[in-house]
Structure formats: C-alpha cells, structure tokens
C-alpha cells in the first residue's frame, strides 16, 4: 500500500489513510505517532477542548510515554506531583502510606495528578502539531467496511453530515465504545460491577509537605472513596460503590453524596469546611465492561473503547497510551510491512489483554478484608511489597523482574484467605450477590467518559 504524504491531509469529508475516533489520551497519542510516520491522519473529537473528564490520577509509568511523545514538560507544568498512595481503613488504627520510590524500578519515583481537561487538550494539540488533521465538535455515527476501505459517517455540532473515506480506522471513543457497540462485542464484566458519584472541592485538607499531592483511598461499607489533590487547589473526591447502594437514593444527588461522605469519618475530617465547586456532583453507573475483540482487518480498538474495569489504581490513561503506542505499530505494518502484520497483531492483542488482566486480579479483591489487611499492614519479605508497588506504578510492560515476587504476594494472599476462611467466604458471597445486582442509576444520565 503506498505511503501517504502528510501535506495532503484530509479536510472534513475527504479521504485519509487513518481516521481516529476520539480525542482523549489514546486517540491523540496514536494520531500523533501515525502522523509522524507520514500517514494522512484525521482525529475526530465529539466535544471541544478543553472539556471535563474524570480520571485525573496518573501512574509513574506514564512518564516514559510522555517523554517519547515529547510532552513531559507540559505535563509537569500542569501537574501536581504524586509520590505515592495512602490507604485509610475504618478497621485499622492508622493509615498505610506507600511510595513509588520503593518499587523495584527506582527510575520512576513519582507521577502527577492532573486536570484531565488540561492534559487531554495538551495531547490533542500535540497531535495537530505532529501533522494530524484535528476536527472538534464532530460525532461519528457509524463505520462501514468494504473490501477496499472504510466509510466513516459523522455529524458536526450544527447538524451537518460529514463523511470520510479511510483505509484504516482506530476506535479510541472511550466509554462510547463505538465499534464494540456496532459489532455487538461489548459485554458487561461478570466479575465486577460498580457505579460512582464524584465532585470537586475547594479547601480540602491535604497531606503535608512532599506528600500533599498523593492520592488517598478510603474504604467504607459500600465501597471506597478517592481523594485526588489538583494543582489549582481543588480536590477531586469520588465514591465507587456497589450499584445497589446508589439505587437506594431518595434525595438530590448532592445531598446523597454528602451523606455518603459522612460514612467515612476520616474523609469527612479532610473535607470539613470544604466547598463543593459549583455545587455539582456527577454520576456514572454500570461502567465495568470489555469487548470480545480488539482488532479486525482495517480497525483497532484502543484504551477504554476496548475495556474498562475500575479506577481504583488509576490505570486508565496509562493503558490507553500504551495501547496507542502498540496500535501504531500495527497500523505501520498494515501500510508498510504486510508480512510483519500478523506478528504485530499478536503483540497488540497480548498488550491489550495484559493490562486489564494484571490490574483486575487486585481490583476484584480490593473489598476483600484479607486484601485490605495486606495493604494496611504492608511487609516486604523477598520484595513482595516492592513488587506490588511496581504494578501500582504501571511497570507491567517492561523488563523489571518483579513477577516472581508478585506471585509470592498472591500466594500470601491465598494462604491468608484460607487462614481466615469464614471471614473471606462471607465477603466473597456478599460480593457475588452485589455484582449480580447491576444497572445504571435511577433518574440519572449515565456519563459517557473517556478516562
């Protein structure tokens, strides 16, 4: 297939080599990479940057990806340094504080908390600067494949229809999951079912000194809270809960959120005297899902367009950008090295499966009292705590040799579970019942998010 010249990049309604759906971290990253390869790339975003988005906590492993893109300095400018994580449990007398510097790889000691509106705008503008044609306020309505290419049907803000003819399509539409919905491949995660409500506060009490930007996780009886300090002085606070709890809501969302926060005395103390920004509380429900496929003859799914489990370990942006780097290799092989395409596709599938799999093992057990004890009373025999920190840092695609120690941690978990069998079984049975009780929030519009 002939290489396309960047100087003939498509105007709306024209032809292009690659059309990317979604201007979040996955879409903007892959668009920048492909434009650098000389592809004619069109990047289509349904909203206008900057736009609100949740998912503000990054991982240390994002740093090398920002370096490769050339945007690290801009992220540093908008970000709040995040050196570690604090866990707070009502069943334990003191919080547990872990630092990324204690992971196996010492070269990634910190990450950032960011306003996603700012980060996503940086990445989107960088894609344009790299040579991609960017179109905002344009929602893709459908993708139609034939033997020679792909027709993409979209609609502008003013209602005007737009069509592109592309050789390849990348779906980075996030929780809109455009292709997964069109193909019928989207499935609710049978092992996890959560909903969330969240808002931003001014005047929240943070940790002191170097740790002021650390994320805090507060367990409570219906799930867990996040507490994410941002550089502008506001703090993102959210509750991830079992849907059955949120279905019980019988009052305005802001009042219900305040009542939920009151269930965590430690979090309530942090928010004493704090003000909810604009009085706004957001809600999203039933958000754990996956697609049975991630690629096809002329298309790929990236990031949340393929799968999303739970935000507890802040993995969303890292997995999205990693999928973009790997996906760019598939597209390059499609255009330039057909003989290498099967191997590139196999690598892409392995990457797409690995991230959700490795994080999910912990996510599925985060509300188990045995796992909670291990996080609240950390020990480091044979490097097991450092191995867990390596995973929490996002260091799962490199060559850091922590996997043996991580398997040992899992063995410790299972042995501890057997030692506390009645307690663990009760928690498992309750979780199984709650996962089966799915659904969106009554009376609320479920937010479509690209995390």
Contacts of 388 (CB under 8 A, 6+ apart): 406, 409
Q: Which helix (H) or strand (E) holds 62?
A: helix 62-69
Q: Taking each helix axis as running N to C, give the angle between helix 316-336 and helix 62-69, from 0 to 180 degrees, rounded to the nearest 10.
A: 40
pLDDT-derived band at 365 (thresholds 50, 70, 90) equals: confident
> Are 138 and 45 in contact, with CB atoms under 8 Å apart?
yes
Among the listed residues 253, 245, 262, the one whose alpha carbon sits nearest the alpha carbon of residue 438: 245
Q: Region 350-376: what's the mean pLDDT?
A: 91
Q: Which helix (H) or strand (E) holds 410?
A: helix 403-419
Instruction: Report domain extents, the chain.
Output: 6-71+115-188+291-359
Identify the weakest region by mean pLDDT among 190-199, 204-213, 413-422.
190-199
pTM of the model: 0.90
Arithmetic mean of pLDDT over the chain:
90
pLDDT tens digit sequence for 378-422 = 989 999 999 999 999 999 999 999 999 999 999 999 999 898 877
Rounded (5°) CA angle 78-82-85:
150
pLDDT at 145: 96
Identify the weakest region by mean pLDDT among 6-15, 165-174, 309-318, 385-394.
6-15
> Are 442 and 249 in contact, with CB atoms under 8 Å apart?
yes
Q: Region 275-304: what's the mean pLDDT?
A: 91
Report the alpha-carbon distance of residue 214 to residue 275 in Å, rounded: 20
Report the alpha-carbon distance of residue 128 to residue 137 in Å, rounded: 15
Among the listed residues 264, 278, 266, 265, the one whose alpha carbon sits nearest the alpha carbon of residue 207: 266
SS3 category, 444: coil
pLDDT-derived band at 210 (thresholds 50, 70, 90) equals: very high
SS3 category, 159: coil
Among the listed residues 332, 326, 248, 323, the one whose alpha carbon sits nearest the alpha carbon of residue 291: 323
pLDDT-derived band at 206 (thresholds 50, 70, 90) equals: very high
pLDDT-derived band at 424 (thresholds 50, 70, 90) equals: low
pLDDT at 1: 37
Architecture of domain 6-71+115-188+291-359: 3-Layer(bba) Sandwich (3.50)
pLDDT-derived band at 427 (thresholds 50, 70, 90) equals: low
H runs (alpha helix) in 160-242: 178-183
Tell me the percentage of the chain whose pLDDT exceeds 90.
76
Report the alpha-carbon distance of residue 364 to residue 415 in Å, rounded: 17
pLDDT tens digit sequence for 82-113 = 999 999 999 898 999 999 999 999 999 999 99
């Amino acid at each position: 297939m002939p290489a396309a010249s960047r100087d003939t990049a498509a105007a709306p309604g024209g032809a292009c080599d690659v059309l990317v759906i979604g201007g979040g971290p996955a879409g903007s990253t892959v668009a920048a990479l492909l434009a650098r390869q000389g592809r004619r790339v069109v990047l289509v975003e349904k909203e206008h940057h900057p736009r609100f988005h949740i998912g503000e906590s990054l991982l240390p492993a994002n740093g090398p990806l920002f370096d490769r893109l050339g945007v690290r300095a801009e992220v540093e400018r908008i970000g709040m340094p995040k050196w570690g994580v604090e866990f707070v449990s009502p069943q334990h007398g003191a919080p547990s504080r872990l630092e990324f510097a204690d992971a196996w790889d010492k070269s990634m000691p910190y990450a950032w908390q960011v306003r996603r509106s700012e980060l996503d705008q940086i990445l989107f503008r960088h894609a344009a600067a790299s040579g991609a044609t960017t179109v905002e306020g344009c929602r893709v309505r459908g993708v139609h494949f034939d033997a020679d290419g792909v027709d993409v049907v979209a609609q502008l803000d003013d209602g005007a229809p737009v069509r592109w003819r592309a050789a390849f399509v990348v779906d980075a539409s996030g929780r809109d999951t455009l292709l997964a919905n069109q193909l019928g491949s989207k499935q609710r995660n049978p092992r996890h079912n959560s909903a969330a409500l969240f808002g931003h506060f001014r005047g929240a009490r943070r940790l002191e000194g170097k740790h002021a930007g650390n994320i805090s996780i507060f367990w409570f009886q219906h799930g867990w809270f996040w507490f994410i300090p941002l550089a502008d002085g506001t703090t993102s606070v959210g509750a991830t809960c079992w849907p059955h709890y949120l279905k019980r809501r019988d009052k305005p969302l802001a009042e219900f959120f305040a009542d939920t926060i009151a269930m965590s005395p430690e979090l309530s103390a942090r928010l004493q005297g704090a003000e909810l920004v604009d009085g706004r509380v957001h809600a999203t429900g039933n958000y754990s899902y996956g697609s049975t496929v991630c690629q096809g003859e002329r298309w790929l799914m990236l990031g949340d367009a393929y799968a999303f489990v739970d935000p507890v370990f802040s993995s969303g942006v890292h997995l999205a950008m990693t999928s973009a780097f790997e996906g760019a290799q598939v597209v390059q092989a499609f255009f330039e090295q057909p003989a290498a395409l099967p191997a590139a596709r196999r690598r892409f599938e392995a990457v797409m499966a690995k991230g959700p799999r490795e994080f999910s093992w912990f996510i599925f057990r985060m509300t188990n009292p045995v796992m909670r004890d291990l996080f609240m009373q950390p020990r480091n025999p044979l490097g097991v705590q450092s191995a867990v920190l390596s995973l929490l840092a996002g260091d799962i695609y490199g060559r850091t040799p922590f996997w043996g120690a991580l398997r040992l941690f899992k063995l410790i978990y299972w042995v501890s579970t057997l030692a506390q069998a009645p307690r663990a079984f009760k928690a498992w049975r309750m979780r199984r019942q709650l996962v089966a009780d799915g659904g969106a929030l009554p009376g609320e519009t479920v937010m479509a998010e690209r995390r």
